[in-house]
Amino acid sequence: MAPDFLASVCLGAMVTEVLQNYLGGRWIAGAGSGAALYDPVRGTELVRVDSSGLDIAAGFNFARKEGAELRSLTYRQRGEMLSAIARMLQGRREIYFEIAQANSGTVSNDSAVDIDGAIYTISTYAKLAETLGDRQFLFDGEATPLAKEAAFQGRHVLVPTRGLALLINAFNFPAWGLWEKAAPALLSGVPVVVKPATATAWLAQAMVRDVVAAGILPVGALSVICGSSAGLLDALEPFDLVSFTGSAETASTVRSHPAIARRSVRANIEADSVNSAILVDGEAGGGPAFDLLVREVVREMTVKSGQKCTAIRRILVPASQYDAVADAISSRLSKVTVGDPRNNRVRMGALVNRAQYVAVQEGLAQLRKETKILHDGASHDLIDADPAVACCLGPTLLGAPDPDRSEIVHDIEIFGPVATLMPYRDEAHALALARRGQGSLVASVYGSGAAALSRVALELADSHGRVHVVSPEVADVQTGHGNVMPQSLHGGPGRAGGGEELGGARALNFSHRRAAYRGRR
* Binding residues vs ligand NAP (CB under 6 A): 168-173, 195, 197-198, 228-229, 233, 245-247, 250, 253-254, 270-272, 309, 413, 415, 441, 497
Residue nearest ligand NAP, Cβ-based: 246
Q: Could you give the CA distance from residue 471 to residue 352 in angstroms, rounded to a whole number? A: 34
SS3 at position 14: strand
Q: Could you give the CA distance from residue 61 to residue 55 in angstroms, rounded to a whole number? A: 10
Long-range contacts of 433-437 (CB under 8 A, 24+ apart): 433/276, 433/314, 433/316, 433/403, 433/404, 434/276, 434/278, 434/314, 434/316, 434/460, 434/463, 434/464, 435/463, 436/410, 437/273, 437/274, 437/275, 437/276, 437/314, 437/410, 437/463, 437/495
Quote the least distance from Cβ 257 to ligand NAP, whole Å.
7
HEC profile of 106-151: CCHHHHHHHHHHHHHHHHHHHHHHHHHCCCCCEEEEEEEECCHHHC
Residue placing its CB nearer to ligand NAP in the complex, 169 or 511: 169
Residue placing its CB nearer to ligand NAP in the complex, 64 or 195: 195
Q: Could you give the CA distance from residue 468 to residue 470 in angstroms, rounded to a whole number? A: 6
Helices within 199-262 (DSSP H only): 201-214, 248-255, 258-261
Query: By the 8 A CB rule, do 336 and 395 touch?
Result: yes
Burial 411-445 (b: 16+ CB within 10 A, else e): ebbbbbbbbbbbbbeebebbbebbbbbebbbbbbb
Q: Could you give the CA distance from residue 72 to residue 183 in angstroms, rounded to a whole number? A: 17
- CA separation, residue 483 to residues 43, 192, 466 (Å): 29, 25, 11
Pairing of strands 312-318, 275-279: parallel
Q: CB atoms < 10 A from the CB of 327, how many?
A: 14
Residue placing its CB nearer to ligand NAP in the complex, 34 or 399: 34
> Which residues does the annotation mark as catalytic?
270, 309
Quote the least distance from Cβ 413 to ligand NAP, whole Å.
6
Residue placing its CB nearer to ligand NAP in the complex, 270 or 300: 270
Quote the least distance from Cβ 271 to ligand NAP, whole Å.
6
Q: Could you give the CA distance from residue 150 to residue 122 in angstroms, rounded to a whole number? A: 42
Residue placing its CB nearer to ligand NAP in the complex, 5 or 173: 173
Name every residue whose Cβ is closer than 8 Å to that of residue 50 and which is 6 or more positions away in sequence. Answer: 18, 29, 30, 31, 32, 33, 34, 35, 226, 227
Q: Could you give the CA distance from residue 8 to residue 17 in angstroms, rounded to a whole number? A: 4
User: Of the candidates 494, 430, 428, 427, which has an alpha carbon nearest to the alpha carbon of residue 465?
Assistant: 494
User: Of the candidates 297, 247, 302, which has an alpha carbon nearest to the alpha carbon of residue 270?
Assistant: 247
- Name beta bridge partners: 47: 37
Quote the least distance from Cβ 483 to ligand NAP, whole Å.
13
Residue placing its CB nearer to ligand NAP in the complex, 172 or 444: 172
Residue placing its CB nearer to ligand NAP in the complex, 230 or 378: 230
Residue placing its CB nearer to ligand NAP in the complex, 224 or 346: 224
Residue placing its CB nearer to ligand NAP in the complex, 245 or 511: 245
DSSP state of 284: P
Quote the least distance from Cβ 259 to ligand NAP, whole Å.
10
For residue 512, the one-letter residue type is: H
